[in-house]
Structures are given as C-alpha cells and as structure tokens.
Amino acid sequence: VRVYKNEDIASKKVAQKIADLIRSKTKAGEKTVLGLATGATPVQVYEELIRMHKEENLSFESVITFNLDEYYPMQPDASQSYVRFMDENLFNHIDIRRENIHIPDGTLEKEDITDYCLNYEKKITEAGGLDLQLLGIGRTGHIGFNEPGSAPNSGTRLVTLDDLTRRDASRDFGGKENVPTKAITMGIGTIFKAHEIILMAWSKKKAPIIKKAVEGEISGEVPATYLQLTDNVEFVLDRAAASEL
C-alpha cells in the first residue's frame, strides 16, 4: 500500500511508472501491453501521460491496450460509452495505433458474446499478456465490473451490474433507470494474470471500501479482496482514501 498526499501526486507517480515501462520495453524492441480502466479515478494519470507524450516525446507506437470493461448494450458513440471515454481522455491525444486498442464491444448480439469474450482473452495472451493492469474500485468492491459473487478464476464475460453500481452511474445516464443492467468485463482471473496490478483510489468516499479491500476477509462479497492473494499488486491511495486503514 502506498499513500500519497493527494491524487495529483499519486497520479503523477503512476504515470511515471507507466512511462518508464513503455520506454524500457521500447528500448528492448518489445511491445508494452497495458490493461486500462475508466471512471474518474485514472483521469489524471491519462492527463499526465498526454503531457509526457507532448512535452517529453513519450511514444505509444509500440503500446497495445486492453480495457477492462464496457456497458452492455452500449453504442461506441454514446456519451457514456467507455470507447468514447478512452478516446476523449487518452487515445485522441497520443500516437497509439488504432489497431492496438481493444475495448469490449457493447454492440454485440447476445449469442455472440461468449465467443467474443473467449477471443478477447486469446488476444491478450497473443499480445504476450498484460504487463500492467490499472484498476479503480467501485463502492461494491468491484474491480472492472466484477461485482460481488464473482469467482476468483473468472474470465471475460457478460455480467449483471449491482444496484449500487447502477445508482453510482445514474448521474452519467440521467437516472438509474437508464443505466444498462449489464456489462462485459475482464474477469478476476484475467486481471490476476497481469504481471503487475495497480489499484488506485482517491477521496474519503472510497475509504470504507479500501479498508475492506486491504484489511477485510478475502471473500467474493468484496471482489477486490482477492487482490490480497497476489503479491504483484500495489494499492496507490491518497490520504483520504487511506484514512480508515
């Protein structure tokens, strides 16, 4: 667990770590495979990466990305889509190749989802596996959209969103009734295969769930507690989110 004074400083540390990874892999002639997250939490990390691209020649030409999740159903051009979020907050501002970007497809026919998800896993493996996975945390303890009840070995799949998660998203959708009931998410097992995992949380609002995730009994009731089972995970927190530890 690493605690920083505020979100600003913590986000810059995480961005620096990502930049160092990209630079060292690029130097070795290797691709960097990043697992990316959406939500308010990683926004400043992405801002700092954009700044480094513009001011410090950080190139994303050899970076391959896999996003954690997407609402289902969801059109990519809808204002709440994670495709749009990633374009606006990162991809449109850097030199990543479009073919290297992967975000679960919210437009699939239901019967195609299982094959699609297996293929998403396959693509991660073929890319060489995730070097680094970024995570936020939902108030249910979800990582990606792995809600309470998710199995530790779960793979990419269609899931049903928790009521609290839909309530938390209601502002973006203009009411809970407009929030999709489902999502496609990488599984806990998918996340676990990453070489390194960074879970970030800022603000007092996240303090109770961070306490459970870091110190609570390991249980499917709080999926983030599964992270206690692996030693390649770092919780990067601001003081407020760490205040109940």
Q: How far is the CB of 161 from ligand GLP (least distance, A)?
A: 8
Q: How far is the CB of 38 from ligand GLP (least distance, A)?
A: 5
Q: How far apart are the first and last CA of the chain?
A: 10
Residue for token pair 């030409």 = 61
Nearer to ligand GLP among residue 41 and residue 156 (C-beta) = 41
Summarize as ranges the residues that interact with ligand GLP (CB under 6 A): 37-41, 68-69, 136-138, 144-145, 165
Nearer to ligand GLP among residue 60 and residue 82 (C-beta) = 82
Nearer to ligand GLP among residue 38 and residue 89 (C-beta) = 38
What letter represents residue 85's amino acid?
A: F
217 is an active site residue = no
Q: How far is the CB of 129 from ligand GLP (least distance, A)?
A: 20
Cβ-based neighbours of 135, under 8 Å, separated by 6 or more = 37, 68, 143, 144, 191, 197, 198, 199, 200
Closest residue by Cα to residue 52 from 86, 88, 12? 12
Catalytic entry in 30, 147, 215, 234: 147
* Catalytic (active-site) positions: 147
